Amino acid sequence: MCVLYSEVLPLLLPPNSVLYIFPRVMQTVGIGVEFCSHIVRWFCSCNLPTRVERAHSALANMGASVVSGITLTKLIGVFVLFFAKSQIFEIYYFRMYMFMLLWGALHGLVFLPVLLSYFGEWVGGLYLDTCAAELLW
């Protein structure tokens, strides 16, 4: 999440303006959580023994939902702003939101599963069963 924030923040700041920082930062954090939360939840509730298998399972089972449910719906909604005649809509809304959307999708669907496969939680027998039971109930 911090990586997404630090990469997107310089592109979201219009020159000579500090008033737009907070709403755009909150929007970036919200999009990042939206993309990453589904993948992480599946990763934590999976009963496979290794991190790589769990990351693969999370991407295989939740990746299509994230792409179709989050990415494509937002992409279609934002693409309408491309045809706006006003420069403020084209620059500050279309370009900014499109960049945040594509960068959030890249982080949630590419970088996050790789990081989880290397640094994800180790599964240790009974702990996973209680964790999965709590998530499902």
pTM value? 0.69
Please state, in angstroms and rounded to a whole number, the distance separating the CA atoms of residues 114 and 110.
Answer: 7
pLDDT of 20 reads 63
pLDDT of 127 reads 46
Those residues whose C-beta lies under 8 Å from the C-beta of residue 102, and which sit 6 or more positions away, are none
If one compares 92 and 124, the residue with the highest pLDDT of the two is: 92
H/E stretch holding 63 reads: helix 51-66
pLDDT of 137 reads 45
- The answer to whether 45 touches 116, Cβ cutoff 8 Å, is no
- The answer to whether 107 touches 3, Cβ cutoff 8 Å, is yes
